[in-house]
Amino acid sequence: MLFGLPAAVRVAKAALAPLFSEDQLVFWAGMLLVVGFWFWRWRHARWGRFITTIEHESLHALVGMMTLIPVREMKVREDGSGHVLFEPPGHWLLYLAPYFIPMLLLIEIALIRLIQLPATLETFVFGAVMGLSLLGHLRQIHPRQTDFKQAGVAFTLAFLPAAFLLCYTSILHILLGDHPEQLLAVLTQWLELAWKDVGWAWNQITSIRT
C-alpha cells in the first residue's frame, strides 16, 4: 500500500474535481460551517468524543465478529473513552478499521437519502456530515494510538494513508450519485495506477544498478 499512496492521491484528486464547480458551493458551505463550529466550540465537547468513540469501538467489535474473533466486552464512557476486549490474537484489520472506514458517515448518508430533502439542502447536509466525519477520523490519528503499535507502526504507516484516501474517495462518488459500479472502478483505477508506479520504481532501481 505504500507504493499505492501516490496512486490513491491521484484517484482522490479526480474524484474531487466535480466538486470544484458553482453547483457544489453549497456542499463546501456545509463543510466549512461544520469545521468552523468544530474549532470554535465542538472540538472539546463531550458529545463529540462520545459519538466518535461509539463508532470507533463498534468497528473494532464488528470486524472482530466478522472475522470470528470472540468479542468479550465493549464499553464507551461519558468522557469519550472506551475499549473493546476480545480473545487474542487480533489482526491488522481489527486494529486499523476504525481509522479508515467511515461507518457513521455511511449511515448518515443513507438516512439523508431516505428523508429526501430538497436537492440544495441535501447537498449542504452532505457537506456538513462529510466535514464532521473527516474531523472525527483525523482527530483519532496520532502517534500515541495503541492500535497502531498492535498492528505494527511500519505497516500502519504503509497502509493507512492510502486506505483512508480510497475509502473517502468512494464516499465522494456515493455523494455525487454515481452507480455502485463506480466504486469498483475506483479500486480498479487505483490498482492500475499503483501497478504502473511500482513498474516505474522498479525501472529506476534497475537503471541505477546498471
Q: What is the H or E stretch that residue 82 is in?
A: strand 82-86
In the predicted model, is pLDDT for residue 201 greater than 80?
A: no
Is the dihedral angle over the CA atoms 67, 69, 70, 74 positive or is it negative?
negative
69 and 129 in contact (C-beta within 8 Å)? no
Q: What is the pLDDT of residues 102-161, one digit of tens each?
A: 988 888 888 998 988 898 999 999 999 999 899 888 888 888 888 999 989 999 998 999
Residue 93 CB partners (closer than 8 Å, separation 6+): 63, 67
CA dihedral 169, 18, 3, 142 (to 10 degrees): -50
Name the nearest CA neighbour of 159 among 94, 106, 100: 100
82 and 56 in contact (C-beta within 8 Å)? yes
Q: Which amino acid is at 97?
A: A
Mean pLDDT, the chain, integer: 85
Residue 79 CB partners (closer than 8 Å, separation 6+): 46, 49
DSSP letter at 70 equals: P
Chain-centre distance of CA 79, in angstroms?
23
C-alpha cell at 193: 495506477
DSSP 3-state of 80: coil
Look up the pTM and report it: 0.85
CA distance readout (Å), 15 to 10, 65, 83, 172, 175: 9, 33, 35, 7, 11
Lowest mean pLDDT among 105-114, 168-177, 184-193, 196-205: 196-205
